[in-house]
A and B are shown apart, each in its own frame.
Chain A
Amino acid sequence: MPVYSLEVAVVLLGLVLLMMEAFVAGKDKRFVAHTALLGLGAVLVGSFFVDRTPDASGFWSFYKADGLAMTYKAIALACTMLVIVLGLDYIPVLEKFTARVGGHGAWGEFFCLPVFICAGMMWMASASDLTSIFVSLELVTIAFYVMVTFMRRNVGSLEAGVKYLILGALSTGFLVYGFTWLFGVTGQTNLDVIAAKLNSGTVATVPAMFSFALILVALAFKIGAVPLQFWIPDVYQGAPTPITAYLSVGSKAAGFIVTTRILQVFLGSEALVHNCTAILLAVACATLLVGNLAAIPQTNFKRLLAYSSISHAGFLVLALAAGPAGAFGLAPGQIVAYYLAAYLIMTLLAFAVLVVINRTSGSDDLNAFNGLHQRSPFLAFALLVAVASLAGVPLTVGFVGKLLVFAAAVKASLWLPLGFAIIGAVAGFYYYLKVLRNMYWNAPAGGTLPAITLSGLTKATLLLLIAATVVLGVWWAPLFQLVRR
């Protein structure tokens, strides 16, 4: 099976799901989600057994199937599956805030559209041409406009959707304008050819730097880095929680593979590498500072995770800026992939707990976590593992990711950015572990609350993610193997 049949399979799955949602009788549409899970799982398994050798057709100038692309495809598939599991837990909230049709909330499409987004992210993972980057990125972004606004009877969701739409359109403008300049100076759209052209010394540097700045601004929107990071807290807070998780992990990962590929072009050019690195380091430092310091006073857990998402973007940009040496035998792109795989596990674990809390208490506030230990020791433990890993406590998978970034920065002798990263990591310990006080020491406001019961699927998912966080924090080999394919 050729590798591009993976995306075809995902799109076909999405079409089948839309048909099932529309034509299969019955008011309970949970079966759509279960079918999506089975289908995506099959594609995920299949992605390890596809034929990746390119043939002579012109298609392969737009599409790349290197190891990095396959890793990001696996991240996209795994992330989509977990988001669908989170969505199943979130159905009571969706029921309340989606349009009422036939006496029920209309949330069937909530489990169809992520499948198309997944296909878009898989195409982004493979895109190796300005044109294919643009069309796949737009597929993902436009589908996310819909998903963020999905709970249309909720003012917060609508507001988040409008904000995301306007800033997304702005960033698309920057992206296309940057691409135009890049095409103008090189006359090419294929990234490899552009890289060769930029390195040949015949290209004017000022327009090339101009296109770099424009493209970087647009990508900063996708990955949540300074200067286009200010939408993140509001949109994350307003969007349906599973979609917040999807934005935070899937959209960011897809943005980072495109960033990695485009930065390879600019950082590979001797004339540009110096200035580009300086700009990237400035972006990394500013992102680390904004993300971590603004997270400290937050009292809403969703906003806290939003700022945490910004701060992780700072670490990832730092890894990319640290130059081609990398660390521990991993190239910068592979370090980013490793970090994102770790980030996927721990962030989705935190969001899975948040979805349950949100469903039972109707609030994302830190106070809603008061007394969680009495209500459900298992959930409290899951969140303990998640925040420990997000903060980077040793023996968790998040620690390994941060260690790789720090090692790469040390190897490149980036002492000032390293200082910012250390400040960020230390601040992280404070604001991540703040939630522990709520869970274990604070008494719930309204006396003792009823215990929380979890469905089998949720329990299994939480257990899997906890195990992955701890096991992969001790035994590093599997993720190393994954990103070095």
Chain B
Amino acid sequence: MPSVLFYIFAAVMLGFGLLVVVLRNPVSNALALAVSFLGLAALFVSLNAFFIGIIQILVYAGAVMVLFLFIVMLLDIKAEQRRKLNMPAVAGGVLLVVAFSIQLISVLANFEPGKRRINEVPLDLPAAAAARVASGAPAASINATLNAGSLPDVNLVGETLFTKYNFHLQVIGVLLLVATVGVIVISRREDKNAPAAES
């Protein structure tokens, strides 16, 4: 990706991210966040992470943001009143930003592979396929796609998830079941004529 596009999308992401904090109307906040996610997705695509880019749009910009908007509109949240700046909160925020920046800079300064540009290290797909065959990876169709010179990233994610991390997937399955049951327990509709509970 040309660096011009990188700067455009990075500016979109950061600018709309800033608007999320600055705007006072909750609906505008949610929409600004969605646009910010779109910029982030474009950056993922520029790193050859096509699958994550698409998922970013489908799940975050699509599903999660629609959910946010639903809640904002259902609860009929009004635009926030302009408040006085809460100095301790601002100071804490600045402190956190500084702390994160220091961490980021120190990591980037120490991480040697990060100093090379992505154009300088092209993906060697046939070599990856050969390594897979050597390690006895089962899915032959993935190897074929790699040898043909295209990156089957969805297939690779799926393969890793359902073979190496199968155990985790099962545990997450139980977690989702528990969460579903829990939502029903906490939000179950009551009989209309139920007596009021004392608290």
With both beta carbons as reference points, the residue of chain B lying nearest to A63 in the complex is identified as B167
A142 contact from B166, B182, B189, Cβ within 8 A? B182
Task: Report 27 cross-chain contacts, Cβ distance below 8 Å, ordered by A residue.
Answer: A58-B164, A59-B167, A99-B188, A99-B189, A99-B190, A100-B191, A101-B190, A106-B185, A109-B181, A109-B184, A109-B185, A113-B181, A116-B174, A120-B171, A120-B175, A123-B171, A135-B171, A135-B172, A136-B171, A142-B182, A145-B182, A146-B179, A149-B186, A150-B185, A152-B186, A153-B197, A155-B199
B24 within 8 A of A: no
Query: Are A142 and B175 in touch, CB under 8 angstroms?
Result: yes
Quote the shortest CB–CB distance from B104 to chain A (angstroms).
Answer: 12
Q: For residue A150, which residues in chain B have a CB less than 8 angstroms away from its CB? A: 185-186
CA distance A58 to B138 in the complex (A): 14
Query: Are A132 and B185 in touch, CB under 8 angstroms?
Result: no
Residues of A within 8 A of B (CB): 11, 18, 58-59, 62-63, 96-97, 99-103, 106, 109, 112-113, 116, 119-120, 123, 131-132, 135-136, 138-139, 142-143, 145-146, 149-150, 152-156, 184, 204, 207
Q: For residue B110, which residues in chain A have a CB less than 8 angstroms away from its CB? A: 204
Contact with A along B37-52 (1 / 0, CB 8 A): 0000000000000000
**In the complex, number of A-B residue pairs with CB atoms less than 8 Å apart:** 85
Residues of B within 8 A of A (CB): 107, 110, 163-168, 171-172, 174-175, 177-179, 181-182, 184-186, 188-191, 194-195, 197, 199
Q: For residue B181, which residues in chain A have a CB less than 8 angstroms away from its CB? A: 18, 109, 112-113, 146
Q: Please give 8 more A-B residue pairs, beta carbons under 8 A apart, in addition to A58-B163, A139-B178, A142-B182.
A: A120-B175, A136-B171, A138-B175, A139-B171, A143-B175, A146-B185, A153-B199, A154-B197
A112-B181, A143-B182, A184-B107 given as contacts; is B199 within 8 A of A154 (CB)?
yes
With both beta carbons as reference points, the residue of chain A lying nearest to B168 in the complex is identified as A135
A143 contact from B107, B178, B184, B190, Cβ within 8 A? B178
Query: Are B174 and A101 in touch, CB under 8 angstroms?
Result: no
A132-B168, A146-B186 given as contacts; is B177 within 8 A of A100 (CB)?
no
CA distance A156 to B190 in the complex (A): 19
CA distance A116 to B170 in the complex (A): 13
Quote the shortest CB–CB distance from A186 to chain B (angstroms).
Answer: 14
Q: For residue B178, which residues in chain A have a CB less than 8 angstroms away from its CB? A: 113, 116, 139, 142-143, 146
Q: For residue B172, which residues in chain A have a CB less than 8 angstroms away from its CB? A: 135
Q: Is the interface of A mostly helix, strand, loop or mixed?
A: helix
With both beta carbons as reference points, the residue of chain B lying nearest to A61 in the complex is identified as B164
CA distance A485 to B42 in the complex (A): 54
Complex A-B, nearest 8 residue pairs according to Cβ-Cβ distance, in ascending order: A146-B182, A100-B194, A153-B197, A155-B199, A135-B171, A139-B175, A99-B188, A143-B178
Q: For residue A11, which residues in chain B have a CB less than 8 angstroms away from its CB? A: 174
Q: For residue B166, which residues in chain A have a CB less than 8 angstroms away from its CB? A: 59
**Residue from B166, B167, B181, B186 with most neighbouring chain A CB atoms (10 Å):** B167
Query: Are A135 and B175 in touch, CB under 8 angstroms?
Result: yes
Query: Are A131 and B182 in touch, CB under 8 angstroms?
Result: no
CA distance A136 to B168 in the complex (A): 8
Q: For residue B184, which residues in chain A have a CB less than 8 angstroms away from its CB? A: 109
B182 contact from A97, A113, A204, Cβ within 8 A? A113
Q: For residue A109, which residues in chain B have a CB less than 8 angstroms away from its CB? A: 181, 184-185
Q: For residue A99, which residues in chain B have a CB less than 8 angstroms away from its CB? A: 185, 188-190, 194
CA distance A184 to B114 in the complex (A): 13
